[in-house]
Chains A and B, each alone.
Chain A
Amino acid sequence: MSEINTDSKGKGKKGKPKKMSTRVDLTPMVDLGFLLITFFLLATTMIKPQTMELVMPSKDKPTNPPPKARASRAVTIVLGKDNKVFYWAAEQDEKITPKVIETNYSSTGIRKYLLDRNKTVMDKVRQLEKDRITKHMPDSVFDKEKIKLQSEEGVKVKLSPIILIKPSEKASYKNMVDILDEMAICNIGTYAIVDITPQDTVLIKNAKK
């Protein structure tokens, strides 16, 4: 299979230099090349894993308390067990028990509510996305504008919700990532992961009855 084509006619003749063919059979070389390609294809990861950036509040800065969420904007989302979500909008009057609504992580569940609540910002972001395509906006500019919209517009219109995410003990990590994802999808500018309080547990228990 891998013979080298040498000219053997000139064997034995003295004086004359041997004329060797320079042609080499390259088939084995090609075989080797593809073998190595196969190896590298199988041994490599082409896709880098995706990450979600998370910035948590610092522990030792009690001087910077979470901004008192205006009651009209505050929405509490409790992540329950078995992929259940409970949410309620805070009432102006603390004496009135808010209405707890049970839903799930599907697109018709919590997302529908959040999109509804955050409509003004959502529309602006959608417009921005359109502009990005028509005006050939670079990614860096787009990202900056988007963050600006999420944080500033929300304040301006005083309508976009401030979300308090309260994962219960029974919630899974997937639930947590899912809800953070919903925040990104719905362009919610202000949200925080906080611990669940006993009052919240009572609220949900009462709602189940």
Chain B
Amino acid sequence: MPKVKIKRKSTALDMAPMCDMAFLLLTFFILTSNFIQKEVVQVTTPSSISEIKIPETNVMMILVDPKGNVFFGIDGQEKRDSLLQEIGATKGITFTEQERKEFSVISNFGVPIEKLKSFLAASPEERDTKEWALGIPSDSVNNQLKVWVTAARSINAKARIAIKADQVCTYPVIKNIMNTLRDLHENRYNLITSLEQNPEKIKL
């Protein structure tokens, strides 16, 4: 009987299908992704059963940190640029090309308008530190939040207002913001919450 010769198989695999799959997944992720927006403060939102999703564009975001400091931000680099110009025009401040460029990449900020120039002069790393988490003054004496919302509204009439507040915030802080918005005839806004199961929904 002739000896059966066992053929030695090559261990090298054809990587082409694997490669195809990897890039297919990559394409999927690139197309579906929206990047995590860096936020100046960590905010833990309360949960609700509401299932309405917030749109990605045309959003004015009002952030409130646990201490009650208010932060503001809008989407879109061009819009941010025109927002700064608008603020400059109303407050009589001229911003340089460099400052406008810096401002257009900041997703949210919380500094009084007077300190805006030094804030923009700071390096991006410095801006993330606690020293710059001052909050926009929003009391009745010096309501700069009003100025920002008005300016943002004049740039983008379609923008929705979203309030993202920390769950430990006290009610007067929120009330103050709601009153500010009410003064501006902004009666429709969204509260950002995290998802929770509706306990009363019929389970299948």
- Interface on A for B, CB 8 Å cutoff? 25-27, 29-30, 33-34, 36-37, 40-41, 43-60, 79, 107, 115, 122, 126, 129-130, 133, 167-178, 180-181, 184-186
Which residues of A sit under 8 angstroms from B172, Cβ to Cβ? 169
Is B139 part of the binding interface, using a Cβ–Cβ cutoff of 8 Å? Answer: no
Distance, CA A129 to CA B204, complexed state (A) = 11
Taking beta carbons and an 8 Å cutoff, which residues of B are in contact with A?
Answer: 14-16, 18-19, 22-23, 25-26, 29-30, 32-36, 45-54, 56, 64, 162, 164-175, 178, 181-183, 185, 187-196, 198-202, 204
With A30-B22, A36-B26, A173-B173: A49-B168 Cβ-Cβ less than 8 Å = no
Specify the chain B residue showing the minimal Cβ separation from A168: B171
Query: Distance (Å) between the CB of A103 and the closest chain B CB?
Result: 16
Contact B192 A174 (CB under 8 A): no
B19 neighbours in A (Cβ, 8 Å): 26, 29-30, 33
Asked if A181 contacts B196 (CB within 8 A), the reply is yes
Which B residues touch A172, using CB under 8 A?
A: 167-171
**Can you give 18 contacting A-B residue pairs, CB < 8 Å?**
A36-B26, A37-B26, A40-B33, A45-B34, A47-B195, A48-B53, A49-B192, A50-B51, A52-B191, A53-B189, A53-B190, A57-B187, A122-B200, A167-B171, A173-B170, A177-B47, A180-B48, A184-B49
Assembled-state Cα–Cα distance A184/B29 (Å): 35
- B167, A186: Cβ atoms closer than 8 Å: no
CB neighbours of A53 from chain B (8 A): 50, 52, 188-190
Q: Number of contacts between A and B (CB, 8 Å)?
A: 172
- CB of A174 within 8 A of CB of B26, answer no
A184: chain B residues within 8 A (beta carbon): 48-50, 198
- Chain B nearest CB: distance from A52 CB in Å? 4
Least Cβ distance of B2 to chain A in Å? 32
**Complex Cα–Cα for A34 and B18 (A):** 10
**B46, B195, B202: which has the most chain A beta carbons within 10 Å?**
B46
Cα(A43)–Cα(B18), bound, Å: 23
**Given A54-B189, A54-B190, A115-B200, does the pair A43, B35 have CB atoms closer than 8 Å?**
yes
B195 in complex: contacting residue of A37, A50, A133, CB < 8 Å: A50
Q: Is the CB of A30 within 8 A of B18?
A: yes
Q: Give every chain A residue within 8 A of B15 (Cβ-Cβ).
A: 25-27, 29-30
